[in-house]
A and B are shown apart, each in its own frame.
Chain A
Amino acid sequence: NAGVTQTPKFQVLKTGQSMTLQCAQDMNHNSMYWYRQDPGMGLRLIYYSASEGTTDKGEVPNGYNVSRLNKREFSLRLESAAPSQTSVYFCASSEATGWGSYEQYFGPGTRLTVT
């Protein structure tokens, strides 16, 4: 099993450009998440999908959109990139929708720089 995979690994964008980060999991998990990691701030939730067909905003959703394409795939789109979106982006998945007891499994991350 590959677990959680993300593409691309690195990306440089100019301000105003758009891009989509792809994420896929092969663990048959119901829930998927997008986080950003910034120095000194830990991980902050951008969007999540509790189950196929549903998406909800997290802590920092502004400037992003998501699509839960099917049970395996959850993409994150930046419509008009800004320097403040320079960060490392992680996709994660968990077995079920309960926020309580389920651990999350993370992809290797995408390092995005917006100039």
Chain B
Amino acid sequence: AQSVAQPEDQVNVAEGNPLTVKCTYSVSGNPYLFWYVQYPNRGLQFLLKYITGDNLVKGSYGFEAEFNKSQTSFHLKKPSALVSDSALYFCAVSRVNKYIFGTGTRLKVLA
């Protein structure tokens, strides 16, 4: 069965420090992987996606994600966190006619 897991409900990081939000997936065949961000009382916004090619994907607002096929992971990263990055982050996996979201990870960047 196709699934995606975000093992951390919340991640706290100090402003200026690097951040990582974890995502693992389970899908047969080659996955398409996405990260979305949700700010309070807003809809989800697309950050980046992995379709094929380079395992390091760069996206909006300085975020990047690394696709690791052997570990079936697609972790979201940023070299230097900003307080304004505080939000809810969702990983999603797509394959054939299914698009599955993770349960979300709340990122809190502390000033």
A and B: interacting chains: yes
Interfacial residues, chain A to chain B (CB-CB below 8 A): 4, 40-45, 90, 92, 99-101, 103-109
User: Is B49's CB under 8 angstroms from A106's CB?
Assistant: no
User: Is B101's CB under 8 angstroms from A107's CB?
Assistant: no
Interfacial residues, chain B to chain A (CB-CB below 8 A): 32, 34, 36, 41-46, 49, 51, 90, 94-99, 101-104
Given contacts A100-B32, A101-B49, contact A107 B95 (CB under 8 A): no
Given contacts A43-B90, A100-B32, A103-B49, contact A90 B43 (CB under 8 A): yes
User: Is A40's CB under 8 angstroms from B103's CB?
Assistant: yes
Interface contacts (Cβ under 8 Å), in number, total: 50
Give the contacting residue for A103; candidates B34, B101, B103; CB below 8 A.
B34
User: Is B46's CB under 8 angstroms from A99's CB?
Assistant: no
Mostly, the A contact residues are: loop
User: Is B99's CB under 8 angstroms from A41's CB?
Assistant: no
Give the contacting residue for B102; candidates A42, A100, A106, A108; CB below 8 A.
A42
**Docked complex Cα distance between A90 and B42 (Å):** 10
Task: Please name all residues of chain A whose beta carbon is closer than 8 Å to the beta carbon of B41 when the two chains form the complex.
Answer: 108-109
Task: Please name all residues of chain A whose beta carbon is closer than 8 Å to the beta carbon of B99 when the two chains form the complex.
Answer: 45, 99, 104
Task: Please name all residues of chain B whose beta carbon is closer than 8 Å to the beta carbon of A100 when the two chains form the complex.
Answer: 32, 51, 94-96
Give the contacting residue for B101; candidates A43, A101, A109; CB below 8 A.
A43
Task: Please name all residues of chain A whose beta carbon is closer than 8 Å to the beta carbon of B34 when the two chains form the complex.
Answer: 103
User: Is B103's CB under 8 angstroms from A99's CB?
Assistant: no
Given contacts A45-B99, A99-B95, A99-B99, contact A4 B43 (CB under 8 A): yes
